[in-house]
Amino acid sequence: MKKLLSLVVALVALFGASAVSAATPTDRSVKVIVMPDHLDWNYKCGEKPVFKVLVLKHHSPMQNVEVQYELSEDNMPAHKSEKMVLKAGEGVIKLGTMKVPGFLRCAVTVKHGGFTYTGLATAGFEVEKIKPTVEYPADFDAFWQKALAESAQIPMEPKITPAPELSTGTYTAYYVQYQTYKKKVYFHGLMTVPTKPGKHPAILRVPGAGVRSLTPMTELDLADFVVLQVGIHSIPVNLPKEAYRNLSRGALANYNRFNIQDRDQYYYKRVYIGCARAIDFLSELDYVDSERIGVCGHSQGGALSFVTTYLNPKVKYYYAHYPALADMTGYLNGRGGGWPHLFRTDMDKNLDKAKALKTIPYYDVVNFARGVKVPGVMACGYNDTTCCPTSMFSVYNVIAAPKELALYNEIGHWLYVEQEEARRVWFREKFLKK
């Protein structure tokens, strides 16, 4: 009993503190905690993890609680689903093993008081050996160099409009517009510029998936950095919320699949070029030090961080949180693939698979990561079911440049506040250290 109470106290301290500091998820009265028996959550192929399960209500073990657990390989259908009763709120689950590098996940669900509570943990098997499934086209670099050369013929015609309603005594805000790779095709953004004089380092913040407005990115040091956030959909970033809601449900629903059967017309071609040109836009501003430009983003933005770094050599550092658009052919090879989960559901039954597979390699983040030449950080977690770790390690393992892995095993598709703080400090050390 003393051993269990000690474990409860330790877990409450760990998970309770995390929940308070986290942006998401919010804390709940019932907690389902799943713990691998290796502290680093890593195993050798052939090893058999044993996961401990603890169900707490008001920080105390629940008595005679029924749980259902599912075992699955990363983002694949469950291969085992069973129920068990935890007499004192505690039990163990044997996962089996994996014979090849990858991830094995255990999800435990409790129904109580009309609500459903779920906890999960994921064992990694020799993750440093995970290799991508996506092919690398022989003309990959030539394809993108041609696209960049074509876009260079289009003047950016930048337009910078003051946004006094978003400005403070520390920074001045502006709405931004510039042409991307075709005439009359624009990127819109929000930029903040420190009020103190001089040339400043700059950070491009590329967006996660969706359609939304932008506000100043206070998680970074807006007093010391020029920060440009861009939208990727050729629409202003200060429209009413209803406008974005209507677009996301209508004209821009499933934009990640638009024209995917044509590599020259795929939706992300304009997006990738637009992000690369954002760096050119920043480098030409009088108040930006063009030798100190970085890029960062989450999910789709994590993907665009790698893409932008590859396409524009003016990027000196990148910081990519849980990159999407990675190893998108995974599901065709019997394992998890990256967001937007192509070929996993009936959504893609009408796609011409052969044509789509000719396009995907030119847009998969794995192939951009291969060519990154500057230092950077990739941050991720094992429990991410949106951008599954199999797809993300397919990216990380091919990076040849100096790299850092910011791994928080237990996180899903979200961040702790301290992760954002770690990014802020990292950029300060790289760009402001004397």
How many CB atoms within 10 Å of residue 412?
18
Q: Is 290 a catalytic residue?
A: no
Distance between CA 385 and CA 411 in Å, rounded? 10
Distance between CA 387 and CA 314 in Å, rounded? 28
**Residue 329's closest CA among 356, 298, 302, 299?**
356
**Residue 120 carries which side chain, given as an amino acid letter?**
L
Stated as kind and residue range, the H or E segment containing 291 is strand 288-298
**Residue 196 carries which side chain, given as an amino acid letter?**
K
Distance between CA 63 and CA 88 in Å, rounded? 5
Assigned token pair, 333? 């090879």
In three-state secondary structure terms, 321 is: strand
Alpha helices in 233-266 (DSSP H): 241-249
How many CB atoms within 10 Å of residue 180?
24
Q: Is 262 a catalytic residue?
A: no
**Residue 128's closest CA among 163, 164, 95, 103?**
103
**Contact (CB, 8 A) for 399 and 369:** yes
DSSP state of 134: S
Q: Which listed residue (305, 341, 384, 394) is catalytic?
A: 384
What strands, in cross-sheet order, belong to the sheet with 288-298?
159-162, 171-179, 186-194, 226-230, 200-205, 288-298, 317-321, 376-380, 403-407
Q: Is 413 a catalytic residue?
A: yes
Q: Which listed residue (72, 151, 299, 305) is catalytic?
A: 299
Assigned token pair, 226? 């020029």
How many CB atoms within 10 Å of residue 224?
17
Cα distances (angstroms) measured from residue 35 to each of 105, 133, 385, 410? 11, 30, 17, 9
Cα distances (angstroms) measured from residue 177 to each of 83, 150, 213? 56, 19, 14
DSSP state of 369: H
How many CB atoms within 10 Å of residue 274?
29
How many CB atoms within 10 Å of residue 431?
21
Q: Which amino acids are annotated catalytic?
A: 299, 384, 413
